[in-house]
Amino acid sequence: MHKFWLMAAAICLLAPVLGGPAFAAEAPSATPEDHVLGKADAPITIIEYASLTCPHCGAFARDVLPKVKASWIDSGKAKLVFRVFPLNGVDVRAAIIANCVPPDRYFAFVDELYRSQDTWTRAGDPVQAVAKTARLAGAGDDKIKGCLADKAAEDSVVKLGYTAQNSYGVESTPTFFVNGTKLVGEHSYDAFDKALTAAQPKT
């Protein structure tokens, strides 16, 4: 698992608004601003807090999520809410760029970043490597530059991680909430299948 370190400047910017750490004992819920994979009315909600540079998150995206999608999401039994939990400045900027691609290509773009994670995270300029992938996903140069220069977009990504840490006790990636039940770290498909089965509405 990767620990959460926000950029010092971002913390200083948001601290006056959000206050100090609270670690409230509550679980997150889906919002209209979320990126959601699956049917909106699915009875089981998986909320994933992930870093785009985290290898454990990449392993989940490549090895486990396709099975969860095939068995649970595509059938309408569950939906996945994906939220970035930035660990570093590259994470913040990669998340900003991801939000710039056409909405219907968001998950395909994130999937491609995880598939090619070993390559772009080791590039001389990782952010430009992400931007190159975004161009292939339909985001033009001007839009990417505009998004990266947008302070509100940066603040939104940083706040998402800060809220996760302070309101929901998220401290590392990946962290999942399955209908409110917290799962920390990289888990096998069998572990997810068990958690999802337990979360099914009682009939």
- pTM, 2 dp: 0.86
pLDDT at 11: 36
Does position 3 have pLDDT exceeding 80, yes or no? Answer: no
| CA pseudo-torsion sign 62, 66, 72, 78 | positive
Least confident residue range of 11-20, 45-54, 70-79, 100-109:
11-20
Assigned CATH for 2-6+33-195: 3.40.30.10
Q: How far is CA 16 from CA 10, 85, 151, 157, in A?
A: 11, 20, 17, 17
pLDDT at 201: 87
- Name which of 138, 132, 79 is nearest 106 in CA terms: 138
- Which band of pLDDT confidence, cut at 50, 70 and 90, is reported for residue 93? very high
- Which band of pLDDT confidence, cut at 50, 70 and 90, is reported for residue 45? very high
